[in-house]
Amino acid sequence: MSQMRKIFFTILIFNSLIYSQSIGFINGVDISMLYQIEENNGIYFENGIAIDPIDIFKQHGVNTIRLKIWHTPDPEFNSLQNVLQMAQRIDSIGLDIMLNFHYSDTWADPSHQTKPSAWESIDFETLADSIYDYTNHVITRLKTQGTLPKFVQIGNETDCGLLWPDGYICDESNTAEQWLNLGILYNNAISGIQDAIDEMDTVWTLGHLSHGGLWYFSNLFNEGVSLDIIGQSYYPWWHGSLDELSTNLTQLSNEFQKPIVIVETAYPFTLSWNDNTNNIIGMESQLLDGFPASEIGQLNFLQAVKDRVTNNEFGAGICYWSPEWISTETFGSPWENLALFDFNSEVLDGITVFENDNTGIDENINPEHIKLKLFPNPFNPITNIHYEIQRSGFVEIMIYNINGELVESIVKQDQHRGEHSVLWNSEGLSSGVYFYQLKLNGEVLGTKQAVLIK
């Protein structure tokens, strides 16, 4: 195993370093289109009365709102500024936020993982820096305005990786080198989150595939990537029957024993249309047997999906994708018959699936955070490494370069349990990305990125 693979292989977390809490069952909706719909005069009703759709969702048991973020979109919907505005609106009525980084200027999915235009021509080392800096900046902005997300999703439906071609791992790119690169990208994103929050903040990280996941997450976790939750999509016309869903959930839970959330699902309430935009779903052959395209069929489908999730030991929630995507006179919708509002924008019975309480994630399962920090970062040439150990023992702090080569040992001595700080003078090193790693009695407790600028 290469030195760099060893750096990322293990992250051991002590329970006493973790802010323990149950997240409850996620009753979520992704309403990333809402701002654009409202800009085009979309209005939502319940019993004929116009109501803020977020209020409607909350009144029917939704506790989490998922928002996607694009790097530099055109037009600027799903931009950071847009997300900041929506986050304030969501937080003001007491709902949790799930932030979904696409790491693209547009849609990212199993067939498209296009780099942001700002990152197109940069080398891999700079790309790794960029995903850290960008993630850190976004989370810092959200935290500063008091709307820190409870959940952060790293990539969207990353079945073949993200930030292609650097993070592509399918076909001929299913190699040790490409998995190492993908692991570095994930770990830099996670470090960007952790370095933006305080010790007692709780942020749960998710990885998200369209379906499956044994091969992907096994390889990813072998690169030392530490994700708290496994996210899956489930659209029956693409991903099969409910029994296939259950089999997939069982395989994932048995293999990884991590919480699993269906972060995207939907079902049509009709096969008719309300505008001139071609709908994605419009044929009987796309439906599940026993679940007609009707209001009750939509409700029964959602209840069946929720039952499959709750019947799994690690099932932790469901999230309906774009229930708000109605059509307006100036903005068409290919999802209009999959929304949770009818063609008169009246809320449908499918929304009641969120009203039932569920157990949620066991409170003994915790988000993984490491008390290991460097300040300042970036630095030149001196910085401090702060860390905590929970038992006395032999402590090592090692410095590695971007190639995984050991360049310096900062600490090699017995230390008592508690908080410690050590000065790192990098006078003899050149500018670049380095990794500082904490070991206790030979076990890796954490590895994080440092940026030296001279």
**Catalytic annotation on 172?**
no
Alpha-carbon distance of 229 to 99, in angstroms, equals 13
Parallel, antiparallel, or unpaired for β 45-46 and 49-50? antiparallel
Handedness of CA 12, 14, 19, 20 (dihedral sign): positive
Task: Supply the CATH classification number for the domain 19-355.
Answer: 3.20.20.80
Could you tell me the two tokens for 155? 């990539």
Alpha-carbon distance of 106 to 103, in angstroms, equals 9
**Domain residue limits, the chain:** 19-355, 372-452
In the chain the first and final C-alpha atoms are separated, in Å, by 32
Could you tell me the two tokens for 291? 């679940």
What pLDDT is attached to residue 19? 26
Architecture of domain 372-452: Sandwich (2.60)
Q: Is 378 helix (H, G, I), strand (E, B) or coil?
A: coil
Q: Which among 157, 223, 324, 336 is annotated as catalytic?
A: 157
Q: Is 164 helix (H, G, I), strand (E, B) or coil?
A: strand
CB 335, CB 277: distance < 8 Å:
no
Handedness of CA 311, 315, 317, 322 (dihedral sign): negative
Q: pLDDT by residue for the chain (454 residues), tens digit each?
A: 344 443 343 332 322 222 234 568 999 999 999 999 999 999 999 999 999 999 999 999 999 999 999 999 999 999 999 999 999 999 999 999 999 999 999 999 999 999 999 999 999 999 999 999 999 999 999 999 999 999 999 999 999 999 999 999 999 999 999 999 999 999 999 999 999 999 889 999 999 999 999 999 999 999 999 999 999 999 999 999 999 999 999 999 999 999 999 999 999 999 999 999 999 999 999 999 999 999 999 999 999 999 999 999 999 999 999 999 999 999 999 999 999 999 999 999 999 999 976 555 554 455 555 578 877 877 888 998 988 887 888 999 999 887 778 999 999 998 888 888 899 999 889 888 888 889 888 877 777 778 888 7
Q: Which of 125, 122, 207, 199 is nearest to 161 (CA)?
A: 207
CB 227, CB 258: distance < 8 Å:
yes
Q: Which of 399, 372, 390, 11 is nearest to 186 (CA)?
A: 11
Please report where in the chains the tokens 């005069």 appear, as a residue: 41
Could you tell me the two tokens for 150? 């409870």
What pLDDT is attached to residue 8? 40
What pLDDT is attached to residue 279? 97
Could you tell me the two tokens for 213? 């996941």
Q: Which among 39, 120, 177, 264 is annotated as catalytic?
A: 264
pTM (two decimals): 0.79
CB 452, CB 381: distance < 8 Å:
yes
Alpha-carbon distance of 385 to 41, in angstroms, equals 52
Q: Which of 241, 366, 324 is nearest to 28 (CA)?
A: 324
**Catalytic annotation on 157?**
yes
